[in-house]
Structure 1
Amino acid sequence: MAGDPADRWEELKVGLMMLTRLPVGRIAGEAPSVAASAWSWPLAGLAVGAISAATYWLATFLGLPGPLAAVLGVLALVLATGGLHEDGLADLADGFGGGRDRERMLEIMRDSRIGSYGALAIGFSLLIRVLAIGTLACWDAIFGFLAIAAASRAVMPAALHLMPPARGDGLGNGASGVSQEAALAAALLGGACLLPFGLLDAALVAATMAGAALWLGRRAMARIGGQTGDVCGAMQQVAEAVGWLALVVVQGATG
Structure 2
Amino acid sequence: MKGFLLLLQFMTRIPTPKMEYEPKQLGKAMKFFPIVGMIIGVILYYSFIVLNQYFDSPEVIAILIILIDIVLTGGLHLDGLADTFDGIFSYRSKKRMLEIMKDSRIGSNGALSLIIYFALKGTLLKEVISIDESPYFLLVMPVIARFNSTLNCGVGKYARPSGMGKSIVEETNMIGVLISFVITAAFSYYFVGMRGIYALIVVSILGIYFAKLMERKIGGITGDTLGAVVEMSTIIVLIVGAING
TM-score (norm 2): 0.92
* 8 A contact 2:165–2:222 mirrored in 1: yes
Tell me what 2:192 maps to: 197
Change (3 A) 1:182 1:139: farther
Please report the RMSD computed on the Cα atoms of aligned residues, expressed in angstroms.
1.9
Letter paired with 2:238:
W
Task: Find 2:55's aligned residue among 43, 63, 76.
Answer: 63
How many residues are matched?
A: 241
1:37 aligns with 2:26: no
Tell me what 2:42 maps to: 50
* 8 A contact 1:156–1:232 mirrored in 2: yes
* 8 A contact 1:45–1:150 mirrored in 2: yes
1:90-130 superposed Cα distances (whole Å, 9 cap, x missing partner): 00000011141101100000000011111111121122111
Give the Cα separation in 2 of the matches to 1:117 and 1:157.
26
Task: Find 2:64's aligned residue among 72, 83, 105.
Answer: 72
1:93 aligns with 2:85: yes
1:24-73 superposed Cα distances (whole Å, 9 cap, x missing partner): 11449x88611111011111111122222222222211133112101111
State the Cα distance separating 1:211 from its structure 2 match.
Answer: 2.4
Change (3 A) 1:189 1:66: same
1:161 aligns with 2:161: no
* 8 A contact 1:155–1:187 mirrored in 2: no
Which structure 1 segments of 5+ residues have no match?
1-8
SS of structure 2 residue aligned to 1:152: helix
1:199-251 superposed Cα distances (whole Å, 9 cap, x missing partner): x2222111121123223222211101111001111111111111100111122
Tell me what 1:179 maps to: 173
Change (3 A) 1:32 1:14: farther
Which structure 2 segments of 5+ residues have no match?
none
Give the Cα separation in 1 of the matches to 2:119 and 2:42.
21
* 8 A contact 1:99–1:108 mirrored in 2: no
SS of structure 2 residue aligned to 1:42: helix
Instruction: List aligned pairs for 1:98-247, cutoff 5 A.
Output: 98-136=90-128, 137-141=131-135, 143-177=136-170, 178-195=172-189, 196-198=191-193, 200-247=194-241
Change (3 A) 1:119 1:140: farther
SS of structure 1 residue aligned to 2:28: coil
Runs of 4 or more above 6 Å deviation: none
1:157-195 superposed Cα distances (whole Å, 9 cap, x missing partner): 221122111001222213122122221111222222211
State the Cα distance separating 1:140 from its structure 2 match.
Answer: 4.6
Letter paired with 1:197:
V
Give the Cα separation in 2 of the matches to 1:228 and 1:32.
16
Give the Cα separation in 2 of the matches to 1:50 and 1:83.
18
